Amino acid sequence: MCGITGYIGSKDSLRNSLDNLKKLEYRGYDSAGVLFYGDGGFKLERAVGKFENLDKKVASMKGVPGYAAIAHTRWATHGEPSEKNAHPHFDCKKKIYAVHNGIIENYRELKTKLEKAGHKFKSETDTEVLPHLIEWYLNKGEKDFFTAFTKALIEIRGAYSFLVVNVLEPKRIYFAKLGSPLVIGTNKGEHLIASDPTALAGVAKQVMYLEDGQRGYCEAEECVVVPKKPKPEDLLLTLEEAKKGKYPHFMLKEINEVPNILKAGLLGRLKADKGLVKLGGLDMMAKRLKGVKRLEIVACGTSYYASLIGELLIEELADLPVEVSIASEFRYKQNPLKRDTAYLFVSQSGETADTLAALRKVNDKKLLSLGLVNVIGSTIARETKAGVYNRAGAEIGVASTKAFLSQLSLFALVALYLAKNKNNENYKKLVKELEIIPEKIKKVLKKSEELKKLAVKYQEYNNFLYLGRGYNYPLALEGALKIKEIGYVHAEGYAAGEMKHGPIAMVDPSFPIVAIITKNRLYEKMMSNLEEIKARGGKILAIATEGDKLIKKVANDVIYVPATLEQFEPMVNVIPLQLFAYHFAVLRGYDVDKPRNLAKSVTVE
């Protein structure tokens, strides 16, 4: 959601803040704006819609080096997407400008107080209260801007990362962070601020990850952070990861990266020849993990569906009871939190507001919190006691694809790591198979053209039912989510065994069924479910195992995938679901990387 950048240093401040902001487009937004010091003073430009609309407005302008620039992409929460609601927002005298990520929960209360004191608001946003509140403290006689800023922050309830410019101090950017991420890139003679490290890929070698409650200001040469300045860390993201390369969309690029990502994720962690699984992050907690009787996994969206597959893997291989919760439910549940339970938080971005709130609920009780996170240095990664990184690199496409696969392979590793009996044949077979999964996925990726043809064939349908059983049931949910997210059609995922309890009533030729029916323990059961659908005139597109001739008698269309062990089938089977959704959405002319109304990293509730 929303993106923030700020630049102060020896280069063109307008260009640099906007170039970095452009890298955050993937997060989802509906308007953009910038404040910079150009010819004759500060200039504010804002535009609704695509980033290009803003870029065009400032095409002939330059930002004076050494002076502050702050920029923002907005994803509407309070007030419709419009120029007046786009950030930066300002005070009555147009002396204080602010950009904001997060939500000011008590903004109504604050706005009423400020309006009573004569402040005039120009937007419907919650953000606008900040510049007015700072102005209010200055009007009351506060001489020091930073103190006025701090006092304003104390009054604000909610989550924020703020950048603020005081036009009387044009060579300085103030900032504050609570609950929304903010990083500061430190180069010689310049500071680059952003809400997401991706914005700084290729332009900052080192970054400071701010902690909640930290605030301060940056000038070209110096940066002050109170109460404590974080240590700069190497930024491991490369510019390559933030570029599409030869692919038309990030989503396609990222799906194609999967085999390499899985290999990178297994590197040093899986030693198939020795039957060994090593997870450094969990080793740190080995003693405490031994006493754990139950695992509770908490996540949102695609990470939640990956966790449902993780539940099956861990229950089966490690014989440990597992429960999976949606973070937005978990955080408000009156549930017993126990010492003998480990809580695992799964998040690609590591910033999802609900997952973070759920984590803090567990941390408040001093219980064992673990993370399975992709973005290095993200808040969830930092606040969990121990964990495992995905090593999937930056995922730019809003609808998660490669991160889902890396989550599945990590769950496989975690399940094997926790397995009680590591000497049996089953364990050895699984370890060996996991190592060759990337090669099997490579074979499935070659089916892209075949899936495109199917997408053409099914393009006119507006309803889909995805079915699976066992390990493929959560995958049916994920398949349906993917086509909903980017294809904007109604799709449901269901456990095939539940068909008789309702959904079969909907079966007719206008409601195609995507069935995941690979050769596993439940193959025959799944086949019976499909026979029942066929008998009622249902149209079936099946994902089946190579060599399965029988399925052709039931399904209208079949996509074959290589055989693998049942526990790892989702990793192979999800590729056709992702590619089908991708081609379907592209054919309909939709922006697959930035689907409408969605955000990559949901940093507000």
Distant-in-sequence, close-in-space partners of 533: CB < 8 Å, separation ≥ 6:
499, 504, 507, 513, 515, 540
Q: In 3-state terms, the chain is what percent helix, strand and coil (to 5)?
A: 40, 25, 35
- Residue number with CB closer to ligand G6P (326 or 367): 326
* Closest separation in Å from C-beta 199 to ligand G6P: 17
* Closest separation in Å from C-beta 241 to ligand G6P: 16
User: In this structure, are residues 70 and 8 in contact, taking their beta carbons and an 8 Å threshold?
Assistant: no
Catalytic sites, residue numbers = 2, 600
Query: Site for ligand G6P (CB under 6 A): which residue of 20, 73, 302, 518?
Result: 302
- What beta strand segments (E) does 306-445 contain? 322-326, 341-347, 368-373, 386-389
* Closest separation in Å from C-beta 212 to ligand G6P: 18
State the distance between the two ends of the chain, measured CA to CA, in whole angstroms.
11
- Residue number with CB closer to ligand G6P (148 or 373): 373
- Give 42-96 as a 3 state SS string: EEEEEEECCHHHHHHHCCCCCCCCCCCEEEEEECCCCCCCCCCCCCCEECCCCCE
Query: Site for ligand G6P (CB under 6 A): which residue of 161, 601, 603, 604?
Result: 601
Phi-psi region of 216 (alpha: psi -120 to 50; beta: other; left: phi over 0): left
Apex CA 580: angle with CA 578 and CA 581, to 5°? 65
Is residue 378 near ligand G6P by the rule CB under 6 A?
A: no
**Closest C-alpha among 489, 465, 466 to residue 476:** 466
Is residue 300 near ligand G6P by the rule CB under 6 A?
A: yes
- Residue number with CB closer to ligand G6P (400 or 564): 400
Is residue 602 near ligand G6P by the rule CB under 6 A?
A: yes
Site string for ligand G6P, 389-418 (x = CB under 6 A): ---------xxx------------------
- Residue number with CB closer to ligand G6P (430 or 481): 481
| Alpha helix stretches (DSSP H) within 156-238 | none
Site string for ligand G6P, 325-364 (x = CB under 6 A): ----------------------xxx--x--x---------
- Residue number with CB closer to ligand G6P (10 or 363): 363
Buried b (16+ CB within 10 A) or exposed e, 548-575: beebeebbbbbbbbbbbbbbbbbbbbbb
Query: In this chain, which residue has its C-beta nearest to ligand G6P?
Result: 301
The span from the CA of 146 to the CA of 74, in Å, is 25
Which range, of 189-197, 264-272, 301-309, 314-322, touches ligand G6P by CB under 6 A?
301-309
* Sign (positive or negative) of CA dihedral 339, 345, 351, 352: negative
Query: Site for ligand G6P (CB under 6 A): which residue of 298, 430, 600, 603?
Result: 600
The span from the CA of 201 to the CA of 185, in Å, is 10
* Closest separation in Å from C-beta 389 to ligand G6P: 13
- Residue number with CB closer to ligand G6P (19 or 485): 485
- Residues in the interface with ligand G6P (CB under 6 A) total 16
Query: Site for ligand G6P (CB under 6 A): which residue of 292, 367, 504, 598?
Result: 598
* Closest separation in Å from C-beta 601 to ligand G6P: 6
User: In this structure, are residues 132 and 117 in contact, taking their beta carbons and an 8 Å threshold?
Assistant: no
**Closest C-alpha among 498, 465, 497, 469 to residue 479:** 465
Site string for ligand G6P, 202-241 (x = CB under 6 A): ----------------------------------------
Distant-in-sequence, close-in-space partners of 283: CB < 8 Å, separation ≥ 6:
none
Reduced to 3 states, what is the DSSP secondary structure of residue 530? helix
* Closest separation in Å from C-beta 23 to ligand G6P: 17
**Residue type present at position 414:** V
Which range, of 31-39, 224-232, 294-302, 567-575, touches ligand G6P by CB under 6 A?
294-302
- Residue number with CB closer to ligand G6P (223 or 300): 300
Residues in contact with ligand G6P by CB under 6 A are 300-303, 347-349, 352, 355, 398-400, 598, 600-602
